Structure formats: structure tokens, C-alpha cells
Amino acid sequence: MKRTLCFVVVALILCTTFVQGKPQFGKAELFNDNWKFSLSDVKEASNPSLDDSKWTKLNLPHDWSIEGIYSPDKASCTGYLPGGIGWYRKTFIVPESEKGNKTFIYFEGVYNHSEVFINGTSIGKRPNGYISFMYDLTPYLKYGKENIVAVRVDHSLERDSRWYSGSGIYRDTYLVSASPVHLDLWGVYFKASSVTNKKAEVSVQTTVNNGLNKITDVRILNEIVEPKTGKVITSATKDMKIHAQLKAEFQQILTIPSPKIWSIETPNLYILRTKVMRDKKIIDQNAQEIGLRTLTFDPDKGFALNGVWTKVKGVCIHHDAGCLGSAVPREVWKRRLITLKETGCNAIRLSHNPQAPDIYELCDELGLLVMDEAFDEWEFAKRKWITGWNVGTPEFQGAASYFNEWSDRDLTDMILRDRNHASIIMWSIGNEVDYPNDPYSHPVLDHANINQPVLGEYLPDHPKAERLGVIAKRLAAIVRSLDTSRPVTAALAGVVMSNETDYPFVLDITGYNYTEDRYAQDHAKYPKRVIYGSENGNSMESWKAVRDNKYIFGQFIWTGIDYLGESGAWPSRGFYSGFIDFGGFLKPRGHFRQALWDTKPVTYIGSYPQPSDKSQLSTDAWPIWNYKDGEMVRVVCYTNSPKSKLMLNNKQVGEIKSLDDNTGVIYWDIPFQEGKLKVVGMDNDNHQTCQFELQSSGRPYSIKILSDMKSIKKDKGLAQVVAQVVDENGIPVMISEDEITCTIDGQAKLLGLEASNNSDMGDYTDNVQHAYHGRLIAYIQATGTVGKITVKFTAPWLKEGSVIIESVE
């Protein structure tokens, strides 16, 4: 009997009319400004009387590694950037009027091994750099007087990650004031008993914390509101007694008539308002957005969203953004995610750790599915490459050092924090923890024992692979105890070995990393198993393995965006296989993927010198049309049009080409002639459906500003301004690498300049950067004052470019 997994879900995200990412209780205010920082392990730094007047003043979020110097004596795995130990301190006053209330500090993420002190007293440690956490400051506060919070961040084991992690308090921080009786942290949870076009029935579980020393009577009111009109659609109340110093859970059922469904195409959202009342007064409340959808996973049919069978077209992403490091503003993520969705991408795998709340909220709003992932390693550290990707002698620092002690709590906190997001469709408990002989091993690896290619020799002195099943059972049980609305999954790297253990059989759905050749045989051998590609290459073959097999519901390409770390041999900032580069610009391989995934007609051409191996077809051909006159050039086209015609200076060159379903690439080899090169996509009746053109450029002449930002919010609003080098006719000069200087006049600061050159290991902390592919992007952040901001770009021998942006309330 086959197994079909159906999940009926109501999911919620934080209301956009409130501070994004804040804790779901009390009055939460951003606690990011006016910190002091020292990149050293200062003795007595937790002591309130310490003189920190010479420390650096800064605002959070802050990543000190990205402010460091790229150096070949650092590790390639973390992008040749430094770690270290740093201290943060902040002075604040809690007024006398807050006596009797509770005060908490909430961190979205601190990398890593953090310890927090309040007025000299240590109140907690958290080794995991990706987990959000909170401490109660109340017992240690001095009301009406100065208080000192100090945070020690120990990233001295700087080779502890296979990719760039960053260092410091790199996400938002909040100070939360709450009544002694308040909603618990992440204390509102939704599930649905049914969702149809006529109605949705949902249960709301609300957890309330009673910090008083007496039994307390409370009333819970939940309202679901139509966001555009503000009309209350449905509501429910419940009264309950909560015993002293205990928590209580409230279950309520609400019915939404004729619900608007959340989907990829129409990510409809409602607002949920939760209020806690005592003696007829509101003592706590929050507002969140909710989305309704259903999930179905079937071993033969794949995946259905709201009953519609759907191929998951996903990408994997890490959490950095080039020159910004890991302290990435929300606006940067929004631009990146919109660009990915425009390629036909409909899903994001958050590799390989919980990420910033901004990302989940944006995926909810934009209609992107999410695979949320907890761990990259379990009880043993993986190899960390030091002198280049997969070369040399590795080291073995990593999160495994605290996995046994902290994994239950870390996983619990990830689920509790994220479980109400409409976008999340599955929970991953691990990535490639089963990589053969790194470190687990099994006799099946001796190829003589199985009818398989060589997988690596069985190493009997290594940990036994059976441990994978033991750990997976524990982790999966934690997930299911907290959320039954989504399946438990993992990304398997050594499925042949894992099939000999309980590991894949503990999962609800099973991810295969790169092993497309296993799909058919494992589908036949394990007919109840739901299979998908959890990590895949960018080839046509890997896509056809999904497209042409109904039982494979999707894939996640490595990777959606170029990222720092996992670098090659020096000079190399990071891994360069993304659809999008460090600066958020779509690359040729992104156009290639769009031709495979997008449903609307698209086409693209790029070029390179005709190769000696005439079968060589690149998916990385840049849109350049500048060569020597008469030089033979290969023009490659990525398109989903049935037919394509190439035009040079308004004359057809070569024959009309049909779509190539074997390679996904069509091409023409033609002699170069200066001018305009255009490809026209046509349907089967030769009607034009799309086009793309290139133009030969002259010498660099001026800097053109590409920005539609007329204004930004004065409180840290961000403008993303592109400076494009063009010739005298305004044509982009793709081969330009001019050195560009950015200056700002007005109440704003430059967060960074990014040109996306992977081999440029220069200084990314100043206002000067070489263009790459003729452009760069500047991140301009307002500093708190209303007024005019003038951003100017200059370069030797080029006409300058400038833009005026208003900083507004």
C-alpha cells in the first residue's frame, strides 16, 4: 500500500505593520543602536565599571569578519577572512515605571559561542550561531539607572564552517517589555483541520506565561482580519485559570468562510490578532499575518500545493551577501528573491541552518516555498578545507562540538520560531551527514558487495553508519512533537550507504543530493518513499530527471546565489555557481535556468570565441559582442521558444534553429561583425514571442546610474544603486573594469560596494571598487535625518554619474 502524506495548514507570519522579525509577545523594540565594540578578548569586559570610551561605536547588525582583510593564510572554507573574539557593550535605562513588569533581551542570531552579561552577571551562553534566543533581564536590572549589557562572541575557531559564517551580532536584537502575564515566546501556533474553497477550520494554540505568584484568570481573544478592509472575519474567546509561575495552553477553533488561499502565484494573507486580557484590560497582544494552503506528498505523483500537482523548482542559498557579509538588510534579500522568482524559481532551500526572519517573511509575501534546515553536521565534524575546495589537508572544527548537548534545544527553537510560516513546506534535520567515510562507514561501501560503482572503501575503524538512524529517530521525534503539519526530511549524500540503515526510513520524504541515477531504482525498490532532489547541479540532465519523472517532485540547484567561502585556491572569495552573483545580478546560468523553468516565452544570447571542441556548449556565456573583425564566435541561446532566428544588423545569419531538448542550448558559429546581434524566439507558426539583443560597445565614456529609488525611510532605509559603465552612445561596456569611487553628500552612509568579481581580494571597506562586467552596486543606508542624499560615482577619464535620493519619514 502506497503512502500519501497530506498536510492541511494554516501558517502565519509577522504582520508587516509591526516591526519585522520581533518576538511574538510584549512590547518589542529594536535594540540595535549605540553599541560599543572591541575586537579583542578584553579582560573584565563584562564589568560595568570598565572604561570602554575608546571602543568602536556602531549599530547592529554587525559582522566583523567582513571588515577584515582577505588573506591567503586564512582558511578557504570561510572565504579567507578572519574570525577572533569580540565584545559588545551597551548602556541603557529601564524607567522606574517598568517595575513589576518583565524585561527580556532577544537575539535573532549571534555567531557564535556567545555569552551574555547584564550588570556583570552572566545570564546565558549559546554556542549555535544561527539560532534565535532570549534571556530574562528582570532580576538584574537597576530601574531608573544605567544598566550595562555585555556580549562576548568567541569565533576563535574560525575554521568551523564549510562556508562563510561571519562573526558577531549579525542579526537584529530586541528589548522586550512585558506584563508578568504574557504570551510565551513563539507562543501562538496554528493548525487546520480542513481547508476548502467554502471554508477553512483552524485551531489556534496560544501559550500564556504566568509570572505572578498567584493563580490568574485570563481571557484569550483571537481575531482573523481581512488586511485591506480591516474587517474582522471571525473570532474566538476563551477563559482559563493559570497557576502561579506556570504556563498554560489555550486551544481555540476558528472558521474562515470562503478563504483566500496562499499559493505561489497568489500568496494571499490574512491578519491574526491575539489579545490576552485580565480584569477586562488588554495586558498583551500581537498581530501576525496568516496564510492558508494544503500540502500533499505522494510517492508516485510527487507534490501538490492546494491540490495542484506542482514541480518544485528550487535553489539552495547561504546567508551572506558579498561585501555585506552576514549582516544583510531586508531590502537586499527582497531584491535577490524577486530576481530568483523571475527565473521561474518557486522554492528556496535554506542551506544549511536557520536563517534570518526577514527571509521567511519575504518568502511568505512573495510566494516562495521553503525547505527549512537545522544542521550541516551531527555528532562528528566534517572536513573543512583550508587551501582550496576539496584540496590539501582538511581540519575538523565545527558545530559537532556542541551537537550532543544542544541539538535537541536548537532544533526545538527552530521549529517553534518558524513553524507558522506559510512558505515552509518541510523540515530538514540534516545535510549530507551521511557522506561516505566523512566519517560514517558501512561494509556496503566495498563495491564488490553491491552492483554499484566504486563508492569508497569500507573503513571499519570509522563510526558505524547505523548511528545515522539512531540520531535521525531522535530528531524526527522532536519535530513531530512540535509540528505535524509538514513532513520531516533530510538531504542524503550517501543514499546507497544510508539505505542500509534506518535513516531514510525515519523520514517522511527523502532528499537525494546529486544522485539522480538512483531515482528509478530506489523508486522501484522502496515504493512508499517520496523522493526529490535536495541538491542538484545546473545541467539539463538533472532537470530532465525531475521533469520527466512524475514521482520526483522537484530539485534544489546548488546554488541560487554566489556566496562567500567554500572558496577555491587563492585568489577566490567564494563559490561561484549561482544564478545570481554577489551583487544580486542575474548571471548567464540564471538565464539558462529561466529557459528551463519559466512558463512565459523567454530567450537570451551570449557569446565566446569558437571553441576547438565544437561540442562544447557553455551555460555561462556573457552578453558580450566585442571581438576582432572576422573572428569566429560561438553565439549560444538559452530559450524555451520552439524556434529561434539570429539577426545581425537586421539580417538573418545562419539557419532557424529548433529547441534542443538534449542540451537546452542552441548555437550558431559566425564571424564577428560589429553592430547589433539579436535573437528572435518564435512559436511553431513562426510568430515572434520574445527577443533579446546585444550591441557592440565603444570605449568607456561615462557612468550611468540605474536606480528607481526616489526615496528611502530616514531610519536605516536602504537604496541599492547600480553604476553602469557605458560608451558614448549609452551602450553598456561589459568588458570595463574601471576603478569607480562613490561619494555621498547628505545623511546617509555607504554600507559597501560590490562588483561581483570572485578573484578580487582587495579592500571592501572603503568607497573605491573596480567595476566587473562593467558595473557595480552601492548599498546606501539613511542615518536618521530627513533630507536630500546625493550619491556620486566618478572614475578617471569617465564622465561622472549621480543620483539624488530623498530621506523621508
Confidence at residue 726, expressed as pLDDT on a 0 to 100 scale? 98
Lowest-pLDDT range of 15-19, 646-650, 655-659: 15-19
Confidence at residue 289, expressed as pLDDT on a 0 to 100 scale? 86
Confidence at residue 6, expressed as pLDDT on a 0 to 100 scale? 64
Confidence at residue 453, expressed as pLDDT on a 0 to 100 scale? 46
Task: Respond yes or no: is residue 432 known to be catalytic.
Answer: yes
Based on its alpha-carbon atoms, the radius of gyration of the chain, rounded to whole angstroms, reads 27
- The answer to whether residues 317 and 582 touch, using CB atoms and an 8 Å cutoff, is no
Task: Respond yes or no: is residue 535 known to be catalytic.
Answer: yes
* Residue 4: pLDDT band with limits 50, 70, 90: low
Confidence at residue 14, expressed as pLDDT on a 0 to 100 scale? 31
Mean pLDDT, residues 439-468: 80
- Per-residue model confidence as pLDDT tens digits over 355-371: 999 999 999 999 999 99
The C-alpha cell at 461 is 575503524
Mean pLDDT, residues 199-224: 96
* Residue 20: pLDDT band with limits 50, 70, 90: very low
3-class SS of residue 394: coil
- Per-residue model confidence as pLDDT tens digits over 133-155: 999 999 999 999 999 999 999 99
- The answer to whether residues 299 and 528 touch, using CB atoms and an 8 Å cutoff, is yes
- Per-residue model confidence as pLDDT tens digits over 464-482: 999 999 999 999 999 999 9
Confidence at residue 391, expressed as pLDDT on a 0 to 100 scale? 84
Question: In whole angstroms, what is the distance from residue 512 CA to residue 650 CA?
Answer: 48
Confidence at residue 614, expressed as pLDDT on a 0 to 100 scale? 86
Q: Which of 331, 500, 516, 535 is catalytic?
A: 535
Question: In whole angstroms, what is the distance from residue 168 CA to residue 376 CA?
Answer: 20
Dihedrals phi, psi of 131, to nearest 5 degrees: -95, 140
Candidates 794, 805, 795, 768; CA nearest to 331 is: 805
3-class SS of residue 581: coil
Q: Is the pLDDT of residue 222 over 80?
A: yes
Question: In whole angstroms, what is the distance from residue 487 CA to residue 571 CA?
Answer: 41
- The answer to whether residues 435 and 463 touch, using CB atoms and an 8 Å cutoff, is no
Inter-CA distances, 182 with 31, 101, 179, 224, Å: 20, 10, 6, 20
Inter-CA distances, 617 with 540, 545, 589, Å: 12, 20, 12
Please name every residue paired with 136 in a beta bridge, in sequence order, or none if there are none. 104
- The answer to whether residues 672 and 635 touch, using CB atoms and an 8 Å cutoff, is no
Residue 274 makes CB contacts below 8 A (sequence gap 6+) with 183, 188, 204, 206, 220, 221, 222, 285, 286, 287, 288
Q: At what angle do helices 403-418 and 466-482 cross, to 10 degrees?
A: 30
What torsion do the CA atoms of 614, 620, 624, 627 make, to the nearest 10 degrees?
-30
Provide the percentage of residues in the chain whose pLDDT is more than 90.
92
Q: Which helix (H) or strand (E) holds 592?
A: helix 588-597
Mean pLDDT, residues 209-234: 95
Candidates 442, 447, 415; CA nearest to 429 is: 415
Q: Which of 331, 373, 432, 754 is catalytic?
A: 432
Q: What is the DSSP letter of 761?
A: -
Dihedrals phi, psi of 116, to nearest 5 degrees: -110, 135
**Number of CB atoms found within 10 A of residue 761's CB:** 18
| Residue for grid cell 532570549 | 134
* 485-516 burial code (b ≥16 CB/10 A, e <16): bbbbbbbbbbbbbbbbbebbebbbbbbbbbbb
Mean predicted lDDT score pLDDT of the chain: 95
- The answer to whether residues 595 and 605 touch, using CB atoms and an 8 Å cutoff, is no
3-class SS of residue 323: helix
Q: Is the pLDDT of residue 501 over 80?
A: yes
- Per-residue model confidence as pLDDT tens digits over 712-762: 999 999 999 999 999 999 999 999 999 999 999 999 999 999 999 999 999
Mean pLDDT, residues 75-89: 97
Question: In whole angstroms, what is the distance from residue 229 CA to residue 43 CA?
Answer: 57
Confidence at residue 19, expressed as pLDDT on a 0 to 100 scale? 41
Confidence at residue 13, expressed as pLDDT on a 0 to 100 scale? 34
Asked if omega into 234 is within 30° of 0 (cis), the reply is no
Confidence at residue 8, expressed as pLDDT on a 0 to 100 scale? 53
Q: Which helix (H) or strand (E) holds 209?
A: strand 199-210
Q: Is the pLDDT of residue 12 over 70?
A: no
- Region of residue 413 (left: phi > 0; alpha: psi -120 to 50; beta: else): alpha
Q: Is the pLDDT of residue 576 over 60?
A: yes
Dihedrals phi, psi of 471, to nearest 5 degrees: -70, -40
DSSP string covering 332-379: HHHHHHHHHHHTT--EEEETTS---HHHHHHHHHHT-EEEEE--S-SS
| Residue for grid cell 553508519 | 465
What is the pTM (predicted TM-score) of this model?
0.96
Please name every residue paired with 565 in a beta bridge, in sequence order, or none if there are none. 574
DSSP string covering 30-51: E--SSEEEESS--TTTT-TT--
Confidence at residue 706, expressed as pLDDT on a 0 to 100 scale? 95
| Residue for grid cell 539505505 | 499
CA angle 453–458–464, rounded 5-degree value:
125
Dihedrals phi, psi of 541, to nearest 5 degrees: -60, -40
- Per-residue model confidence as pLDDT tens digits over 608-636: 999 999 899 999 999 999 999 999 999 99
Candidates 178, 197, 345, 192; CA nearest to 260 is: 197
The C-alpha cell at 782 is 539613511
- Per-residue model confidence as pLDDT tens digits over 668-690: 999 999 999 999 999 999 999 99
Q: Is the pLDDT of residue 708 over 60?
A: yes
Residue 807 makes CB contacts below 8 A (sequence gap 6+) with 711, 712, 713, 714, 717, 746, 747, 748, 782, 785, 786, 787, 788, 789
Lowest-pLDDT range of 27-41, 182-196, 239-253, 262-276: 182-196
| Residue for grid cell 573503513 | 459
| Residue for grid cell 488586511 | 227
* Residue 770: pLDDT band with limits 50, 70, 90: very high
Question: In whole angstroms, what is the distance from residue 171 CA to residue 355 CA?
Answer: 10
* Residue 83: pLDDT band with limits 50, 70, 90: very high
Helices (H) and strands (E) in the chain, counts: 9, 47
Mean pLDDT, residues 174-198: 93
Q: Is the pLDDT of residue 451 over 90?
A: no
Residue 613 makes CB contacts below 8 A (sequence gap 6+) with none
Higher pLDDT, 717 or 16: 717
Please name every residue paired with 719 in a beta bridge, in sequence order, or none if there are none. 780
Q: Is the pLDDT of residue 86 over 90?
A: yes
Candidates 541, 489, 476; CA nearest to 515 is: 541
- Per-residue model confidence as pLDDT tens digits over 206-216: 999 999 999 99
**The dihedral sign for the CA sequence 425, 270, 185, 6:** negative
Confidence at residue 566, expressed as pLDDT on a 0 to 100 scale? 96
Q: What is the DSSP letter of 381?
A: P
CA angle 799–802–807, rounded 5-degree value:
175
Q: Which helix (H) or strand (E) holds 473?
A: helix 466-482
Question: In whole angstroms, what is the distance from residue 350 CA to residue 346 CA?
Answer: 13
- Per-residue model confidence as pLDDT tens digits over 264-281: 999 999 989 999 999 999
The C-alpha cell at 95 is 524607567
Please name every residue paired with 452 in a beta bridge, in sequence order, or none if there are none. none
Q: Is the pLDDT of residue 10 over 50?
A: no
